Amino acid sequence: MVTSVSTVTVSLLLASNRGPVSYIEDGSGGLVPRRGSGGLVTAMTAALRDNDALWVCAALTDADRRVARARAGDVDHGVHMLDLDPVTFDRAYNGVANATLWFVAHLLFDTASQPMFDARWQRDWKAYQDYCGAFADALTGAAAPGATVLVQDYHLALVPRLLRERRPDLRISHFSHTPWAPPEYFGLLPDDVAREVLTGMLGADALGFHSPRWASAFVRCCAEVLGAAVTHDSVTWEGRLTRVSVHALGVDRAELTERFDQPDVQGRLPALRELVGDCQLLLRIDRTELSKNIVRGLEAYRELLRTRPQWRRRVVHLAFAYPSRHDLPEYREYTAVVQRVAREVNEEFAVDGWVPVHLEVRDDFARSLAAFSLADVLVVNPVLDGMNLVAKEGPVLSERGVSLVLSRQAGAADQLGPYAHLVNPFDVSQTTEAMHQALSTSPDVRAQRSALMASAATALPPAAWLQAQLDALG
């Protein structure tokens, strides 16, 4: 269904950088839609299924821009893709959102040399301001009087305030899908930028986070950087109160199960079963983001095979590491290290008929769902993660019950921690020991804990999570 955005006004709007679909060129001039990846898209797609909402997102690729131009600003199936100038987009998305704000949120800088806020960076920041302005303009034009606007993530931190200045009648919320840095780390940002990010978000009536840890860090930043009046769940700045809430996103059991029953997922099962054979399956599924800690995970597996030889030939490690943000050199280098370490493990331990690691970099959602059902142990060891839905999907789709090796630094540890093997993600030897314990857990205990994790994981499915955000707006 295609309608013109200039003639429609809607009462529920969502804004995020990445939308539900992105397009790729098929080599013969055609365009093929692809499901958007990442936790935000997974959550919002499920949450909005039964709502009549407008989703405003950016055209990410040249193919997306072709689609956006062909639509000439029209809304297709509730999606309005913004055709932004590619240079502005690149500076805002790669230079600021991914290379700066993401790194701050995940405490990822190697501070001996990074970050470097120079004239080039200031230029990127200007682009980020323009990019947020373009979103605010689009939302302003499409929102009905008194409409609700749900702004998502660090890409759009300035949008709530810009929107409020343009449209004081709107009810605005902002949700962060990432962790939030404590004030001493957030203070790495240039002073004026740190203030602009915080005051930008405080333009919202309500702010949401996945974990009390991230909400508390945000509130402390407001107190220290702005001198705002704060409580544990509110910030008052320039006479306006913004509510700060925690909504720990979960997964939808019925929907996941229904998707799992589709022929494409079922069709992946025989090959996976054959690959695993009589071994236990140690599984990880990540986008290859720097925060996911894939290299230390592989190192922990190498240490397992070195120090506990009883697991050789008895475990197969399937590591799905899907491409992400390859415009950034750090990500390309990281992917190369992941591939090198996986290769080294195989060179050291592979014997006839047994390959210890299978690293798959081609994104295949159906295969991921199929693998969840067969896993004996799931490894989720990010250095820091807003939530991590993989940790929640695994127990729900597990056939016989799965043991979870989980980083205590993931938001998901708040719900799943009591039943998982929690690890400090920097401690490789502890992760090795956790893998050993997880592989050694009896089938009964594993099934029991897995069932408990599955109920904790489904406590706040996307639709209820969305409703909780709307309720927080009052």
Positions touching ligand F6P (CB under 6 A) are 17-18, 38-40, 98, 153, 177-178, 324-325, 386
Q: How open is the CA angle 437-450-306, to the nearest 5 degrees?
A: 25
Between 148 and 178, name the residue whose CB sits nearer to ligand F6P. Answer: 178
Between 153 and 196, name the residue whose CB sits nearer to ligand F6P. Answer: 153
CA dist., res. 334 & res. 108, Å (int):
13
Q: Please report, as a single letter, which amino acid is at residue 334.
A: Y
**What is the smallest separation between the CB atom of 18 and ligand F6P, expressed in angstroms?**
4
Between 156 and 304, name the residue whose CB sits nearer to ligand F6P. Answer: 156
Q: At what angle do helices 428-440 and 294-307 cross, to 10 degrees?
A: 60
Q: How open is the CA angle 126-132-133, to the nearest 5 degrees?
A: 85
Sheet containing strand 377-380, strands side by side: 357-360, 315-322, 280-287, 377-380, 403-407, 421-423
- Coil, strand or helix at 451: helix
Query: Is residue 66 exposed (0-12), middle (13-18) or buried (19+ Cβ within 10 Å)?
Result: middle
Between 10 and 40, name the residue whose CB sits nearer to ligand F6P. Answer: 40
CA dist., res. 304 & res. 298, Å (int):
10
Q: Does the N-terminal peptide bond of residue 356 adopt cis geometry, omega within 30 degrees of 0?
A: no
**What is the smallest separation between the CB atom of 325 and ligand F6P, expressed in angstroms?**
5
Between 261 and 333, name the residue whose CB sits nearer to ligand F6P. Answer: 333
Between 245 and 324, name the residue whose CB sits nearer to ligand F6P. Answer: 324
CA dist., res. 192 & res. 129, Å (int):
13
**Tokens of residue 317, six digits:** 């490690």
Q: Which residues contact 90 (CB under 8 A, 6 or more apart)?
A: 127, 327
Between 176 and 398, name the residue whose CB sits nearer to ligand F6P. Answer: 176
DSSP 424: -
**What is the smallest separation between the CB atom of 60 and ligand F6P, expressed in angstroms?**
7
**What is the smallest separation between the CB atom of 445 and ligand F6P, expressed in angstroms?**
31
**Tokens of residue 377, six digits:** 């142990």
Between 281 and 457, name the residue whose CB sits nearer to ligand F6P. Answer: 457
CA dist., res. 392 & res. 412, Å (int):
7
Q: Please report, as a single letter, which amino acid is at residue 123.
A: R
